[in-house]
Structure 1
Amino acid sequence: MTVFTKRPDRRFSTWAVITMAALAIGFAFPDSAAAGRLSTERSLSKTKHGYQIVKGHARAGKRSQRFEVRPGDCGRDPGWSDCDNNRERSEVKLKKNIRVGSEWWIGFSIYLPKDFQSSPRVKTSLGQIHQRGGPTGSAGGLPSFPPLLQMDAIGNQWQACVHVLSGSASNVRDVCAHYNLASLNQMRGRWTDVEIHIRATPGNPLLEVYVNGARKLQSNQFLRFVPKEFYVKYGIYRSFVSRHGGPMPTQVAFFDEVRMGKTRDSIAIDGRKPVD
């Protein structure tokens, strides 16, 4: 998982079994990865409406990835239950992981419909970098496996949380360092381009986030606990949904041109070679 001021166009996904009915409404349901797409897997959510490849609405090329979460859209697997932990989501995970000691750029474009609603009390993550084999703790009385980065819509803001961890690896203290990325008013009804730069090198880490070409975040406050690796998730994920005070609104977001590479140029949007 970037309107760079004036750089080329960009990025990614999983691809589709297309039925005649799906063609009629412009939808294709994901199956295997198409050429040019990064390989992904769905995370917990299995609803058909939760993840689709759609035609006719894209940052570049002809297709994009559409995510939708409705009230009560929670899933479970053998190791975790969103339903039991006050969460709802539809996300995918990139199968390509980020090893400790490596350096990567991740790019994607996100489109929020004009009627996208957020909550003033519940964070909706629209992109995350997680840790595998990292420290554990609790949050709100529930088990917590702190990620490195979350990019959350709350109120009228899209803000980044860099998880600054301290304490012990089995009972970690987790404090968010917040960075404003954009207002939701700026994002509704248009594509927003994002670039993430991560240098996962102990002793010399670096995390940067650029939105539409402007750097919005620069931090080296991570890798205090060295995990086995990092991995990227994107889509719609909302936690502690009961804080909204009623059912959360249905939320829809489109992602396109998801790329991952060793340099910033390698993730630039290129309309001549879209990730379709």
Structure 2
Amino acid sequence: MKKILLFFILSVISIQGFAASCADGNEPIKAVSADGSYYEYKCQENSRPNTGRLSGFRSLSTTSYGYKIVNDIVRAGKEAQRFEVRPGDCGEDQAWSDCNNNRERSEISLENHFFPGDNQWIAFSVFIPDNFKTSNSVSTTIGQIHQIGGPSGIAGSLPSFPPLIQLEAKGNNYRACIHILSGSDNNVVDECKYYNLSAISDMQGQWTDIQIHFDTTNNKSLIEVYLNNERKALLREFVNFWPKSYYIKYGIYRSFVSQHSGPMPTQVVWIDEVKMGKNQELVAINKATPVD
């Protein structure tokens, strides 16, 4: 009994000490690790009271320029989120190292999760500047649905925890990679089914509105991707492994960067109006109620 009481007291002290570690004095909130394999506690980065912005956390990246709330280029309202990744921008935590796994990023992971059996809509708008450069060999993910408790495997001789879908810039293409997973839970085979969404050159210098619909009610799997209200992708009955939950990541993420001939170019994007809802109307752009 004494041991149990001592453990409880130490746990409370530990939690209180950790809660005070946030710069704003608030308690950390449970979030997903960078590899999607476990939960951890982090301080909120991009949430602001009464703004409508969904709570989220920076994923690994800690550079001062990598993530900012700005008001120079916005889709609606007065503020947007600016992401920047420069060559060598790799971070790490206690369980994962981008530097050791050939990756670079500046992303936000949303705190909101959804689950198998849900009917979920996700939306965001992205601004790609005129001077945005891509690689013909390395994909830059600008928006993805990841999963926790899903299967794992090896990709390019490195550990892999496949997401559900990635929206990627490669060459002059912005495309959806819907991951088709087979094999076993701990040795998954991961193949992308690609859908072209737009030419990068057609997106530069203007906002592009993205919507993803993922319906898993009644044990089915249906996913749609819309670009500027036009459906560009539709796939049914493709999920072979059900995870514990799904979550959203957005920003800039690039993997296997050594495949590029030399350092990757510096990349900057603006993202605004990130929304989650149960129908398409709830995630549509509404300038009367912007996400700031």
Short-chain TM bin = 0.7 to 0.9
Q: For structure 1, list consecutive stretches of 5 or more residues without a partner in the other structure.
A: 1-16, 18-29
Q: CA deviation at 1:245?
A: 1.5
Question: How far off its partner does 1:202 sit?
Answer: 6.2
Paired position in structure 1 for 2:84: 68
Contact 1:122 1:154 in 2 (8 A): yes
- How far the C-alpha of 1:204 sits from its partner, in A, is 1.2
* 1:170-249 to 2 correspondences below 5 Å: 170-201=186-217, 203-249=219-265
Give, in angstroms, the shift of residue 79 of structure 1: 1.3
Q: Is the CA contact 1:108–1:256 (under 8 Å) kept in the aligned structure 2? A: yes
| Matching residue of 1:94 | 110
Contact 2:109–2:250 (Cα < 8 Å) also in 1? yes
Alignment RMSD (CA, Å):
1.6
Cα distance in structure 1, aligned partners of 2:80 and 2:166 = 22
Take 2:274 and 2:128, find their aligned partners in 1: how far apart are those partners? 16
| CA apart distance, 1:223 | 2.3
Return the match for 1:34 from 36, 49, 72. Answer: 49
Q: Which structure has the higher relative contact order (CA within 8 Å, separation 6+)? A: 1
Amino acid corresponding to residue 49 of structure 2 in structure 1: A
Instruction: Give 4+ residue runs of structure 1 displaced > 6 Å after superposition.
Output: none
* Aligned with residue 138 of structure 1, among 140, 154, 161: 154
Distance in 1 between residues matched to 2:61 and 2:118, nearest whole Å: 30
Question: Once the two structures are superposed, what CA deviation does each residue of 1:126-161 show, in whole Å capped at 9, x if it has no partner?
Answer: 011111001110000000001100011000000110
Structure 2, unaligned runs of 5 or more: 1-23, 25-44
How far apart, CA to CA, are the structure 2 residues paired with 1:221 and 1:182? 25
State the Cα distance separating 1:195 from its structure 2 match.
Answer: 0.6
TM-score (norm 2): 0.83
One-letter amino acid of the counterpart of residue 34, structure 1 = P
Deviation at 1:222, TM superposition (A): 3.2
TM-score, length-normalised on structure 1? 0.88
Shift of 1:57: 1.4
Residue 228 to residue 237, structure 1, CA distance change in 2 (3 Å): same
Q: Which amino acid aligns with 2:195?
A: Y
Cα separation, 2, equivalents of 1:201 and 1:227: 14
Counterpart pick for 2:183 among 156, 167, 179 = 167
- Whether 2:146 is the aligned partner of 1:117: answer no
Residue number in structure 2 paired with 1:10: none
Name 1:4's counterpart in structure 2.
Answer: none
Structure 1: distance between partners of 2:129 and 2:187: 39
- Confirm or deny: 8 A CA contact 2:181 2:240 kept in the other structure: yes
Contact 1:202 1:223 in 2 (8 A): no
Identity %: 55
Partner residue, 1:48: 64
Q: What is the count of residue pairs matched by the alignment? A: 250
Contact 1:164/1:221, CA 8 A, preserved across alignment: no
1:141-152 correspondence to structure 2 within 5 Å: 141-152=157-168
C-alpha distance in 1 between matches for 2:263 and 2:131: 17
For 1:236 and 1:33, the matched residues in 2 are separated by 22
Q: Which has the larger radius of gyration?
A: 2
| Kept in 2: contact 1:111–1:255 (CA 8 A) | yes
